[in-house]
């Protein structure tokens, strides 16, 4: 039988994971600066198996607007290029036979505004996930009350704690959003 503390700890852990997920998603959104995390979602067809790019190559950032990709297996260079071109990043790779260079062009004002919308949607998904966890915790709390395991006072205190957790985690997502919007709009 779950106790009130276990319910709240579980909710806190799950809300923390939602915030971490939102942060990870934000990192895959392109800004004007080069970042190796841009390529985190890229999977390459490596001998018929979709493999994350970071497992096939060393990715480095030699300058602010350039990524270099050094494949461990030089024969995979064509497949890596193809995967980048087919991605939603809108970047054009070039290679010299040993290394792929990926220039990061300046973002247009319109593209920046589109990316801000994408980031806002990702933030809303994170907030919705946190609210669903709250709803789930409240439901389990109600079940404990209905079974007579928890009194009304304890239920009220627990609901306040869950709401406080929800507010804290939502604020963390909002702070991440504000930071990412500023990063995207920065010229």
List, for residues 4-59, the tens digit of each pLDDT value: 889 999 999 999 999 999 998 888 777 767 788 888 888 999 999 999 998 999 99
Mean predicted confidence (pLDDT) in 75-101: 87
State which CATH number among 1.10.132.20, 3.40.50.10680, 1.10.287.470, 1.10.3720.10 fits the domain covering 4-27+108-185: 1.10.132.20
Which region among 63-72, 101-110, 125-134, 161-170 has the lowest average model confidence (pLDDT)? 101-110
Tens digits of per-residue pLDDT, 89-135? 778 899 888 899 998 888 788 888 888 888 999 999 999 999 999 99
The CATH code belonging to domain 36-103 is 3.30.1360.40
What is the pLDDT, as a whole number, of residue 121? 92
Per-domain residue ranges of the chain = 4-27+108-185, 36-103
Report the pLDDT value the prediction gives residue 186, as an integer from 0 to 100.
Answer: 79
Burial-class residue 22 by CB neighbours within 10 Å (0-12, 13-18, 19+).
buried
Q: What pLDDT is attached to residue 187?
A: 66
44-57 pLDDT, tens digit each = 999 999 999 989 99
Using pLDDT thresholds of 50, 70 and 90, give the confidence band for residue 150. Answer: confident
Residue 85 has pLDDT above 80, yes or no: yes
First to last CA, the chain: 55
């Amino acid at each position: 039988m779950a106790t009130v503390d276990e319910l709240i700890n579980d909710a806190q852990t799950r809300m923390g994971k939602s915030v971490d997920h939102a942060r990870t998603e934000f990192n895959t959104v392109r800004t004007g600066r080069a970042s190796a995390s841009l390529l985190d979602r890229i999977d390459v067809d490596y001998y018929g198996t979709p493999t994350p790019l970071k497992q096939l190559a060393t990715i480095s950032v030699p300058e602010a607007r350039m990524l270099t990709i050094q494949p461990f297996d030089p024969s995979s260079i064509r497949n890596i290029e193809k995967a980048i071109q087919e991605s939603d990043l809108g970047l054009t790779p070039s290679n010299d036979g040993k290394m792929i260079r990926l220039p990061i062009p300046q973002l247009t004002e319109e593209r920046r505004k589109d990316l801000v919308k994408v980031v806002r949607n990702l933030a809303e998904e994170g907030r919705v996930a946190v609210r669903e966890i709250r709803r789930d915790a409240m439901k389990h709390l109600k079940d404990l009350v209905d079974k007579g395991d928890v009194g009304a006072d304890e239920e009220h205190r627990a609901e306040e704690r869950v709401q406080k957790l929800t507010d804290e985690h939502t604020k963390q997502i909002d702070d991440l959003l504000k930071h990412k919007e500023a990063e995207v709009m920065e010229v």
